[in-house]
């Protein structure tokens, strides 16, 4: 049975309009994007098949456009449109970071933005959000890239980029391709060194977010960002 033959209250489009996108399953949301299914399947069945073979949804959406284009029900046009839509969503998040105080009013927006940027990357990537004295976004930069399990952090380069943007505060982040977000001892040491280097130039390190499969681990929330003056040398 085609979707247009379903009872109106059960159709994904009508349900989205009536109840909002949160009422739809991942397969139904993907079906709305697909618009139609493959031979012998409606759009929802095609979406369920895609998620079953290549999901969950985040893993499917992390695939590059050339791989998405080879999947049943997508093809080059839909895969490019899907990747473009994801990039629009990321830029929307970046715009929201520029409009409001990130840490004081919406720390989840920064975490969500960094998750979208870094989760699913095959190698470790170290990135920074440079902010003004009201904690509004000035720039996002990916500063260092590493192997599958390590990225070297150079505090001097982070400070140099912060000064280039005239930043008053910084949030840094890196991903763990293994999916396990708990920081290593090397992550702690690098964060402490970076906090001290930034403090010399009167730039605050507001947080270090480690991105894995689940919620990010926040150094600030864990209480690991101590006042630099109170820190004793190792």
pLDDT at 97: 63
Calculate the alpha carbon distances from 48 to 56, 69, 161 in Å: 10, 17, 45
pLDDT at 69: 93
Q: Rounded CA gap, 128 and 85, in Å? A: 23
Q: Rounded CA gap, 198 and 136, in Å? A: 18
Which three-class secondary structure state does DSSP give residue 149?
A: coil
pLDDT at 220: 92
Q: Write the CATH number of the domain with boundaries 12-88.
A: 1.10.150
pLDDT at 100: 55
pLDDT at 163: 97
Give the number of C-alpha atoms closer than 13 A to the C-alpha of residue 174, restricted to the C-beta side. Answer: 25
116 and 212 in contact (C-beta within 8 Å)? no
Q: Which residues of the chain have pLDDT under 70?
A: 1, 96-107, 147-151, 228-234
Return all residues near 179 (Cβ < 8 A) that are at least 6 apart.
212, 213
Return all residues near 222 (Cβ < 8 A) that are at least 6 apart.
none
- Boundaries of CATH 3.40.140.10 in the chain? 102-230
- Token output for 20: 């909002």
DSSP label at residue 198: H
Q: Does domain 102-230 have CATH number 3.40.50.300?
A: no
Which three-class secondary structure state does DSSP give residue 211?
A: strand
Give the number of C-alpha atoms closer than 13 A to the C-alpha of residue 40, restricted to the C-beta side. Answer: 2
pLDDT at 141: 94
61 and 82 in contact (C-beta within 8 Å)? yes
Strands 217-218, 169-175: pairing kind: unpaired
Question: Around Cβ 187, how many Cβ atoms within 10 Å?
Answer: 18
Identify the bridge partners of residue 205 per DSSP, sorted by sequence position. 170
What is the pTM for the complete model shown? 0.68
Peptide bond into 56 cis (omega under 30): yes
User: Among 156, 155, 144, 208, which residue's Cα sits nearest to residue 182?
Assistant: 208
pLDDT at 232: 46
């Amino acid at each position: 049975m085609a979707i247009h033959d379903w009872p109106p209250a059960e159709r994904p489009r009508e349900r989205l309009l009536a109840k909002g996108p949160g009422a739809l399953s991942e397969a139904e949301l993907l079906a709305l994007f697909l618009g139609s299914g493959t031979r012998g399947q409606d759009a929802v069945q095609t979406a369920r098949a895609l998620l079953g073979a290549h999901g969950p949804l985040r893993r499917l959406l992390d695939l590059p456009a050339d791989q998405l284009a080879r999947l049943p029900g997508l093809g080059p046009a839909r895969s490019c449109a899907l990747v473009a839509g994801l990039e629009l969503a990321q830029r929307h998040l970046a715009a929201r970071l520029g409009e409001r105080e990130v840490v004081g009013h919406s720390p989840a927006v920064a975490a969500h933005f960094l998750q979208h940027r870094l989760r699913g990357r095959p190698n470790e990537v170290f990135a920074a959000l440079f902010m003004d004295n009201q904690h509004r976004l000035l720039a996002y930069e990916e500063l260092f890239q590493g192997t599958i399990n390590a990225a070297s952090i150079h505090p001097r380069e982070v400070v140099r980029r912060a000064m280039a943007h005239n930043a008053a505060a910084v949030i840094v982040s890196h991903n763990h391709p293994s999916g396990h977000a708990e920081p290593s001892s090397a992550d702690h040491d690098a964060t402490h060194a970076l906090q001290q280097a930034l403090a010399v130039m009167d730039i605050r390190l507001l947080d270090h977010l480690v991105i894995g499969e689940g919620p990010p681990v926040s150094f600030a929330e864990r209480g690991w960002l101590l006042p630099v003056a109170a820190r004793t040398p190792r």
